[in-house]
Amino acid sequence: MAATEAGEVIEGCRLPVLRRNQDNEDEWPLAEILSVKDISGKKLFYVHYIDFNKRLDEWVTHDRLDLKKIQFPKKEAKTPTKNGLSGSRPSSPEREVKRKVDIVSTVSLVPASLDTAQASVFPQNGSARRPLAVAAAQPGRKRKSSCLGTDEDSQDSSDGIPSAPRMTGSLVSDRSHDDIITRMKNIECIELGRHRLKPWYFSPYPQELTALPVLYLCEFCLKYVKSLKCLQRHLTKCNLRHPPGNEIYRKGTISFFEIDGRKNKTYSQNLCLLAKCFLDHKTLYYDTDPFLFYVMTEYDSKGFHIVGYFSKEKESTEDYNVACILTLPPYQRRGYGKLLIEFSYELSKVEGKTGTPEKPLSDLGLLSYRSYWSQTILEILMSLKSENGERPQITINEISEITSVKKEDVISTLQYLNLINYYKGQYILTLSEDIVEGHERAMLKRILRIDSKCMHFTPKDWSKRGKW
């Protein structure tokens, strides 16, 4: 390749770029040049590493490019649009699962088809470590794949099958992802209280603020300003020490506030702008009226500091109990994500509904929900006890009613855990010793839990409140 000058590197071309991996070793992954800019005579190149997480995209200098292996874009090549994806909207089973299932100990059996009939589990060597629950999916009905996704851009279904983008709700098909501008991180750094956050993705803050080295946010009202001096001036006037809205939960230092997207529009919009820095798929910024926002905070002597949040539609025809969900980076991997998810289901319990998050979830959201569903369902199954010498019985419907987890999520979780097997002409679910021991270890680490006695929440019937 004759390319030797930086001037020949154009937008759309691909070439290896030098970066440091997690082991602090040099590597040369293939990257696409998304943008080129000149600052004081020095060229910078915004690169997207192919098949790497988008949050690793960055501006690099000329010396990190391998110009000997440059691949120029072909004029006729076009990026497939998202409308090209096949698939259908996830659907719920139309008929309820009513067959009862026997509960006993574990046994190693041959995996069978995922179209399951009534299930039973038989004891191994006639002894049971503890009563272990099983449940069956609907016999003779082929289940459509249900797409998962929340905290941050995966469109994987619970079965690993991609599903088409949603056409309604807060996560409508996002055509803006075809725009080069929205593929590039535009905020260098955000100061929020005592934390400095490095955004992962594009967020539509005013363009005049994107050139600043640091964007300053009031951690209580989330107002954004251009300098520390402006923030200090704002703090002398800002009376908030917690999110606006009603505090509906408090236990220890953890509180949840319910914010109406119509009554507190400015706060809700600012929250969405902040969240977009860490949620690649999020498309809702300004039309916050149809949504409620549940902000989790941690209290100290200075006030209630935002940890994370989730939003939900006031009215959802598809039983979505979460639209977007995020734990801010300083609080991730500390159990707060599962606490947010658990709280969303506690709200559904009070409302007397089963719920499910909008799909697709983000990569971290997908992991969080799968983990939460697994722990919640196993907790139910392992707590069942036999009565009058009979094996305990439970159905998927009953698991769904107890946990408020929608039936298709219960079924997909059982499939994901590989609990469904076939034995002597019938479908059964088994809990192996590894599953049991792994669950017990996970629950020992899960210290943060929602205490339903600390909730002060009365659901509203939004269908009778006009346009909210």
Place of tokens 């992954």: 29
State mean pLDDT over 364-387.
88
Whether the pLDDT of residue 354 is over 60: the answer is yes
Q: Which of 80-84, 333-337, 363-367, 407-411 comes out lowest in average pLDDT?
A: 80-84
More confident: 207 or 126: 207
Provide DSSP, 159-197. TS---PPPSSSTT---GGGGSTGGGS-----EEETTEEE
Per-domain residue ranges of the chain: 13-69, 185-240, 369-454
List pLDDT tens digits, range 132-178. Answer: 434 333 333 333 322 233 333 332 333 333 333 343 445 443 444 45
More confident: 242 or 366: 242
Task: Using the Cα atoms of residue 179, residue 165, residue 55 and residue 312 in order, give the sign of their dihedral.
Answer: positive
Catalytic residues: 358
Q: Is 448 left (phi over 0), alpha (psi -120 to 50) or beta?
A: beta
For domain 369-454, which CATH number applies: 3.90.220.20, 1.10.10.10, 3.30.2270.10, 1.10.8.590? Answer: 1.10.10.10
Whether the pLDDT of residue 115 is over 90: the answer is no
pLDDT value, residue 80: 53
State mean pLDDT over 357-370.
82
**Above pLDDT 90, what percent of the chain?**
56
For domain 13-69, which CATH number applies: 2.40.50.140, 3.40.50.20, 2.30.30.140, 1.10.8.420? Answer: 2.30.30.140
More confident: 151 or 183: 183
pLDDT value, residue 391: 67
State mean pLDDT over 81-94.
43
For domain 185-240, which CATH number applies: 3.30.2350.10, 3.30.60.60, 3.20.20.70, 3.60.9.10? Answer: 3.30.60.60
Q: Which of 106-115, 177-186, 335-344, 431-440 comes out lowest in average pLDDT?
A: 106-115
Confidence grade of residue 251 (pLDDT, cut at 50, 70, 90):
very high
List pLDDT tens digits, range 405-454. Answer: 999 999 899 989 988 777 777 667 778 889 999 999 999 999 999 999 99
Whether the pLDDT of residue 83 is over 60: the answer is no
Which one, of 9, 70, 3, lies nearest residue 45 by Cα? 9
254's enclosing H/E stretch is strand 254-260
Whether the pLDDT of residue 400 is over 80: the answer is yes
Amino acid at 254: I
- HSE-up of 120 (CA within 13 Å, CB side)? 10
State mean pLDDT over 77-82.
50
State mean pLDDT over 34-49.
91
Query: The whole model's pTM is what?
Result: 0.76
Q: What is the mean pLDDT of the chain?
A: 78
Phi and psi dihedrals of 386, rounded to 5? Answer: -75, 150
Other beta carbons within 10 Å of 83: 9
pLDDT value, residue 39: 85
State mean pLDDT over 93-122.
35
Place of tokens 């690169």: 47
State mean pLDDT over 367-375.
93
What are the Cα distances from residue 307, in Å, to 22, 261, 419?
Answer: 27, 19, 35
CA distance 25 to 48: 19
More confident: 362 or 340: 340
List pLDDT tens digits, range 188-197. Answer: 999 999 999 9
Confidence grade of residue 247 (pLDDT, cut at 50, 70, 90):
very high
3-class state of residue 142 by DSSP: coil
